Chains A and B, each alone.
Chain A
Amino acid sequence: MPLLVYCITETSASVEVPTTGVNGLTVEAVKHGELQCFVSRSTADISISGLQLRNAALTFHGVLEKIFEQTAIIPFRFPTVLPREPELIAYMAEHSVEYRAALTRLRDVVQMEIKLQFKDSRLLPSLAEPSSSRATDMKPSGREYLQKIRARQEKLEVAAKDLRQACLFFTKGWRQRDSNEGIRCFALVERASVVKFQTQIRTVTLEDDLDARLSGPWPASQFLKEE
Protein backbone atom coordinates (compact mmCIF):
# COMPACT_ATOMS: atom_id res chain seq x y z
CA MET A 1 0.00 0.00 0.00
CA PRO A 2 1.68 3.29 -1.06
CA LEU A 3 2.52 5.81 1.63
CA LEU A 4 2.82 9.55 1.19
CA VAL A 5 5.30 10.62 3.86
CA TYR A 6 5.11 14.02 5.56
CA CYS A 7 7.74 14.28 8.27
CA ILE A 8 9.62 12.55 11.08
CA THR A 9 9.47 13.48 14.76
CA GLU A 10 10.58 11.96 18.04
CA THR A 11 8.09 9.43 19.42
CA SER A 12 8.43 11.12 22.78
CA ALA A 13 6.68 14.13 21.32
CA SER A 14 2.95 14.03 21.94
CA VAL A 15 1.60 15.38 18.68
CA GLU A 16 -1.90 16.19 17.59
CA VAL A 17 -2.16 15.68 13.83
CA PRO A 18 -4.73 16.93 11.32
CA THR A 19 -7.53 14.45 10.64
CA THR A 20 -6.92 14.43 6.91
CA GLY A 21 -4.01 15.18 4.65
CA VAL A 22 -3.34 15.22 0.92
CA ASN A 23 -6.21 13.93 -1.22
CA GLY A 24 -8.37 13.68 1.92
CA LEU A 25 -6.35 10.72 3.16
CA THR A 26 -6.03 10.01 6.89
CA VAL A 27 -2.77 11.06 8.54
CA GLU A 28 -1.25 8.49 10.89
CA ALA A 29 2.06 7.71 12.58
CA VAL A 30 4.39 4.86 11.70
CA LYS A 31 6.72 4.28 14.64
CA HIS A 32 10.18 2.80 14.71
CA GLY A 33 12.25 2.98 17.88
CA GLU A 34 12.36 6.57 19.04
CA LEU A 35 11.21 7.99 15.73
CA GLN A 36 7.80 8.31 14.18
CA CYS A 37 6.92 9.21 10.63
CA PHE A 38 3.59 10.75 9.72
CA VAL A 39 2.10 9.27 6.58
CA SER A 40 -1.06 8.90 4.54
CA ARG A 41 -1.82 5.44 3.17
CA SER A 42 -3.73 4.83 0.00
CA THR A 43 -5.23 1.60 -1.28
CA ALA A 44 -4.48 2.77 -4.78
CA ASP A 45 -1.51 4.48 -6.31
CA ILE A 46 -1.36 8.02 -5.04
CA SER A 47 -2.18 10.19 -7.98
CA ILE A 48 -1.99 13.96 -8.06
CA SER A 49 -3.17 15.65 -11.18
CA GLY A 50 -1.55 18.77 -12.51
CA LEU A 51 -4.52 20.94 -11.61
CA GLN A 52 -4.64 19.61 -8.04
CA LEU A 53 -0.93 19.91 -7.53
CA ARG A 54 -0.88 23.31 -5.90
CA ASN A 55 -3.68 22.50 -3.50
CA ALA A 56 -2.08 19.16 -2.64
CA ALA A 57 1.21 20.92 -1.91
CA LEU A 58 -0.55 23.44 0.31
CA THR A 59 -2.40 20.67 2.15
CA PHE A 60 0.92 18.91 2.63
CA HIS A 61 2.33 22.13 4.06
CA GLY A 62 -0.69 22.42 6.36
CA VAL A 63 0.02 19.01 7.86
CA LEU A 64 3.69 19.87 8.36
CA GLU A 65 2.83 23.22 9.88
CA LYS A 66 0.37 21.74 12.36
CA ILE A 67 2.95 19.24 13.59
CA PHE A 68 5.80 21.74 13.48
CA GLU A 69 3.85 24.07 15.76
CA GLN A 70 4.09 21.37 18.41
CA THR A 71 7.54 19.89 17.96
CA ALA A 72 10.67 19.76 15.81
CA ILE A 73 10.23 17.91 12.53
CA ILE A 74 12.33 16.56 9.72
CA PRO A 75 10.17 17.28 6.68
CA PHE A 76 10.15 15.30 3.46
CA ARG A 77 9.90 17.05 0.17
CA PHE A 78 6.55 16.96 -1.47
CA PRO A 79 5.69 14.55 -2.93
CA THR A 80 7.58 11.61 -1.48
CA VAL A 81 5.71 8.35 -1.86
CA LEU A 82 7.02 4.95 -0.82
CA PRO A 83 5.46 1.78 -2.17
CA ARG A 84 5.14 -0.07 1.17
CA GLU A 85 5.65 0.38 4.92
CA PRO A 86 8.71 -1.93 5.14
CA GLU A 87 10.62 0.50 2.88
CA LEU A 88 9.79 3.32 5.27
CA ILE A 89 10.80 1.30 8.33
CA ALA A 90 14.08 0.42 6.65
CA TYR A 91 14.69 4.08 5.87
CA MET A 92 13.97 5.12 9.46
CA ALA A 93 16.23 2.38 10.80
CA GLU A 94 19.04 3.44 8.49
CA HIS A 95 18.82 7.10 9.57
CA SER A 96 17.80 6.53 13.18
CA VAL A 97 20.96 7.79 14.87
CA GLU A 98 21.35 10.78 12.56
CA TYR A 99 17.70 11.89 12.83
CA ARG A 100 17.44 11.38 16.58
CA ALA A 101 20.51 13.53 17.07
CA ALA A 102 19.14 16.21 14.75
CA LEU A 103 15.71 16.26 16.41
CA THR A 104 17.29 16.54 19.84
CA ARG A 105 19.56 19.35 18.70
CA LEU A 106 16.75 21.19 16.91
CA ARG A 107 14.02 20.53 19.46
CA ASP A 108 13.43 24.15 20.49
CA VAL A 109 14.61 26.04 17.45
CA VAL A 110 13.21 27.12 14.10
CA GLN A 111 14.66 28.39 10.86
CA MET A 112 14.15 31.96 9.69
CA GLU A 113 15.00 32.74 6.10
CA ILE A 114 16.12 36.00 4.52
CA LYS A 115 16.15 36.39 0.76
CA LEU A 116 18.58 39.14 -0.07
CA GLN A 117 18.74 40.51 -3.59
CA PHE A 118 18.98 43.58 -5.72
CA LYS A 119 15.75 45.43 -6.33
CA ASP A 120 16.16 45.07 -10.05
CA SER A 121 16.13 41.29 -9.47
CA ARG A 122 19.07 40.76 -11.71
CA LEU A 123 22.21 39.36 -10.20
CA LEU A 124 24.02 39.88 -13.46
CA PRO A 125 23.98 43.42 -14.76
CA SER A 126 22.87 43.85 -18.31
CA LEU A 127 25.58 43.74 -20.89
CA ALA A 128 23.71 46.41 -22.77
CA GLU A 129 23.97 48.83 -19.88
CA PRO A 130 26.79 51.28 -20.53
CA SER A 131 28.96 52.43 -17.68
CA SER A 132 28.92 56.12 -16.84
CA SER A 133 32.53 56.51 -17.90
CA ARG A 134 31.91 55.36 -21.44
CA ALA A 135 29.99 56.73 -24.32
CA THR A 136 26.36 55.64 -24.17
CA ASP A 137 26.57 53.90 -27.50
CA MET A 138 29.32 51.58 -26.31
CA LYS A 139 28.80 48.35 -24.43
CA PRO A 140 30.98 47.73 -21.37
CA SER A 141 34.01 45.58 -21.83
CA GLY A 142 34.18 42.04 -20.51
CA ARG A 143 36.37 43.25 -17.70
CA GLU A 144 33.87 45.93 -16.72
CA TYR A 145 31.12 43.39 -16.82
CA LEU A 146 32.97 41.03 -14.48
CA GLN A 147 33.84 43.90 -12.16
CA LYS A 148 30.16 44.81 -11.97
CA ILE A 149 29.22 41.26 -11.10
CA ARG A 150 31.88 41.08 -8.43
CA ALA A 151 30.85 44.44 -6.97
CA ARG A 152 27.22 43.36 -6.75
CA GLN A 153 28.13 40.06 -5.13
CA GLU A 154 30.35 41.82 -2.62
CA LYS A 155 27.56 44.24 -1.81
CA LEU A 156 25.21 41.35 -1.13
CA GLU A 157 27.77 39.65 1.06
CA VAL A 158 28.36 42.79 3.10
CA ALA A 159 24.61 43.17 3.60
CA ALA A 160 24.32 39.52 4.65
CA LYS A 161 27.13 40.03 7.13
CA ASP A 162 25.37 43.10 8.54
CA LEU A 163 22.17 41.14 8.94
CA ARG A 164 23.95 38.32 10.68
CA GLN A 165 25.74 40.72 12.98
CA ALA A 166 22.56 42.60 13.85
CA CYS A 167 20.74 39.52 15.10
CA LEU A 168 23.72 37.62 16.47
CA PHE A 169 22.28 37.66 19.97
CA PHE A 170 19.15 35.81 18.88
CA THR A 171 20.66 33.25 16.54
CA LYS A 172 21.96 29.80 17.37
CA GLY A 173 23.31 29.23 13.90
CA TRP A 174 23.64 30.89 10.52
CA ARG A 175 24.04 29.51 7.03
CA GLN A 176 23.84 31.18 3.68
CA ARG A 177 24.16 30.27 0.05
CA ASP A 178 24.10 32.00 -3.28
CA SER A 179 20.98 31.71 -5.38
CA ASN A 180 20.03 32.87 -8.85
CA GLU A 181 18.50 36.01 -7.39
CA GLY A 182 21.06 36.84 -4.72
CA ILE A 183 21.84 35.32 -1.32
CA ARG A 184 19.61 33.21 0.88
CA CYS A 185 20.39 33.43 4.59
CA PHE A 186 19.14 30.91 7.12
CA ALA A 187 19.12 31.75 10.82
CA LEU A 188 18.53 29.22 13.55
CA VAL A 189 16.42 30.87 16.22
CA GLU A 190 14.84 29.67 19.44
CA ARG A 191 11.08 29.34 19.16
CA ALA A 192 10.62 31.76 22.03
CA SER A 193 12.78 34.39 20.31
CA VAL A 194 11.11 34.57 16.91
CA VAL A 195 9.37 37.89 17.46
CA LYS A 196 12.49 39.42 19.02
CA PHE A 197 14.49 38.22 16.03
CA GLN A 198 11.97 39.75 13.62
CA THR A 199 12.04 43.03 15.50
CA GLN A 200 15.81 43.11 15.59
CA ILE A 201 16.29 42.27 11.93
CA ARG A 202 14.01 45.14 10.95
CA THR A 203 16.39 47.61 12.54
CA VAL A 204 18.90 46.95 9.79
CA THR A 205 18.83 49.53 7.02
CA LEU A 206 19.76 48.26 3.61
CA GLU A 207 21.42 50.04 0.73
CA ASP A 208 18.79 51.65 -1.46
CA ASP A 209 19.23 49.22 -4.31
CA LEU A 210 18.89 46.13 -2.13
CA ASP A 211 15.81 44.25 -1.12
CA ALA A 212 15.47 41.69 1.67
CA ARG A 213 12.51 39.65 2.81
CA LEU A 214 12.26 37.61 5.97
CA SER A 215 10.01 34.57 6.19
CA GLY A 216 9.47 31.89 8.76
CA PRO A 217 9.44 30.20 11.13
CA TRP A 218 10.22 27.10 9.07
CA PRO A 219 11.45 23.65 10.10
CA ALA A 220 15.22 23.78 10.44
CA SER A 221 15.87 21.78 7.29
CA GLN A 222 19.06 23.69 6.46
CA PHE A 223 20.53 22.67 9.81
CA LEU A 224 19.88 18.92 9.80
CA LYS A 225 23.56 18.24 9.42
CA GLU A 226 26.04 19.80 11.80
CA GLU A 227 28.81 21.83 10.21
Chain B
Amino acid sequence: MEEGPAMSSPKNSILVTDTHSGDETSLLDILDHVLNAGVVIRGSIVISLAGVDLVYLGLDVILTSIETALKHLQNDVPKSNS
Protein backbone atom coordinates (compact mmCIF):
# COMPACT_ATOMS: atom_id res chain seq x y z
CA MET B 1 0.00 0.00 0.00
CA GLU B 2 1.21 3.49 -0.75
CA GLU B 3 2.20 5.65 2.14
CA GLY B 4 0.27 8.89 2.26
CA PRO B 5 2.13 12.12 2.84
CA ALA B 6 1.61 14.07 6.03
CA MET B 7 0.96 17.61 4.98
CA SER B 8 -0.74 20.73 6.04
CA SER B 9 -3.08 22.79 3.93
CA PRO B 10 -1.68 25.87 2.21
CA LYS B 11 -4.94 27.85 2.40
CA ASN B 12 -8.37 26.58 3.24
CA SER B 13 -8.04 23.19 1.63
CA ILE B 14 -8.29 19.75 3.14
CA LEU B 15 -5.89 18.84 5.90
CA VAL B 16 -4.46 15.39 5.31
CA THR B 17 -3.53 13.64 8.54
CA ASP B 18 -1.11 10.79 8.87
CA THR B 19 -2.30 8.14 11.30
CA HIS B 20 1.33 7.17 11.89
CA SER B 21 2.35 10.61 13.10
CA GLY B 22 1.46 9.85 16.71
CA ASP B 23 0.01 13.28 17.32
CA GLU B 24 -3.12 13.83 19.33
CA THR B 25 -5.41 14.14 16.32
CA SER B 26 -4.27 10.92 14.72
CA LEU B 27 -4.44 9.16 18.08
CA LEU B 28 -8.05 10.21 18.54
CA ASP B 29 -8.83 9.12 14.97
CA ILE B 30 -7.42 5.69 15.73
CA LEU B 31 -9.33 5.35 18.99
CA ASP B 32 -12.49 6.51 17.25
CA HIS B 33 -12.10 3.84 14.60
CA VAL B 34 -11.13 1.06 16.97
CA LEU B 35 -14.13 1.76 19.20
CA ASN B 36 -16.74 2.84 16.69
CA ALA B 37 -15.97 1.13 13.40
CA GLY B 38 -16.16 -2.55 12.75
CA VAL B 39 -18.38 -5.49 13.40
CA VAL B 40 -20.24 -5.75 16.69
CA ILE B 41 -21.15 -9.15 18.04
CA ARG B 42 -22.44 -10.01 21.40
CA GLY B 43 -19.81 -11.20 23.78
CA SER B 44 -18.50 -10.66 27.24
CA ILE B 45 -15.46 -9.17 28.87
CA VAL B 46 -14.10 -8.42 32.27
CA ILE B 47 -13.12 -4.83 32.63
CA SER B 48 -11.63 -3.22 35.67
CA LEU B 49 -12.40 0.36 36.44
CA ALA B 50 -11.21 1.94 39.65
CA GLY B 51 -10.05 -1.46 40.80
CA VAL B 52 -13.50 -2.97 40.51
CA ASP B 53 -14.06 -5.84 38.07
CA LEU B 54 -17.25 -5.60 36.10
CA VAL B 55 -17.68 -9.21 35.14
CA TYR B 56 -19.51 -10.63 32.13
CA LEU B 57 -21.56 -7.66 31.21
CA GLY B 58 -23.00 -7.81 27.73
CA LEU B 59 -20.70 -6.31 25.15
CA ASP B 60 -23.22 -3.67 24.18
CA VAL B 61 -23.18 -2.38 27.72
CA ILE B 62 -19.42 -2.61 27.93
CA LEU B 63 -18.91 -0.59 24.77
CA THR B 64 -20.87 2.24 26.28
CA SER B 65 -18.76 2.04 29.39
CA ILE B 66 -15.55 2.16 27.39
CA GLU B 67 -16.65 5.14 25.37
CA THR B 68 -17.38 6.94 28.58
CA ALA B 69 -14.07 5.87 30.03
CA LEU B 70 -12.26 7.03 26.91
CA LYS B 71 -13.64 10.51 27.24
CA HIS B 72 -11.82 10.70 30.53
CA LEU B 73 -8.72 9.00 29.15
CA GLN B 74 -8.54 11.36 26.21
CA ASN B 75 -8.02 14.18 28.64
CA ASP B 76 -4.79 12.46 29.59
CA VAL B 77 -3.54 12.16 26.02
CA PRO B 78 -0.27 14.08 25.78
CA LYS B 79 -0.34 17.12 23.57
CA SER B 80 2.84 16.00 21.85
CA ASN B 81 3.64 12.56 20.48
CA SER B 82 2.41 9.71 22.64
Contact = CB atoms under 8 A, between A and B. Distances in A.
Interface string B18-34: 01000001110111011
B34 A60 contact: yes
Contacts of B13: 202-206
A198 B4 contact: yes
Contact of A76 (B5, B12, B14, B38): B38
B49 A77 contact: no
The listed residue with most A CB atoms (<10 A of its CB), out of B4, B35, B38, B45, is B38
Interface residues of B, number: 49
A81 B44 contact: yes
A215 interface: yes
Contacts, number: 157
Interface in A207-227: 207-208, 210-219, 221-222, 224
A214 B12 contact: no
A218 B26 CA distance: 12
**On chain A, which size bracket covers the interface?**
35 or more
Looking at chain A's contact residues, the main secondary structure is: mixed
A57 B15 contact: no
B50 A50 contact: yes
Nearest to A62: B30
A77 B31 CA distance: 10
Contacts of B77: 54
A218 B4 CA distance: 12
B47 A47 contact: yes
Interface in A19-67: 45-50, 53-54, 57-58, 60-61, 64
30 contacts: A2-B44, A45-B46, A47-B47, A48-B48, A49-B48, A49-B49, A53-B69, A54-B77, A57-B31, A57-B35, A61-B33, A69-B1, A74-B39, A76-B40, A80-B40, A81-B59, A114-B14, A191-B1, A194-B4, A195-B4, A198-B16, A202-B7, A205-B13, A212-B15, A213-B16, A213-B25, A214-B16, A215-B17, A215-B29, A222-B37
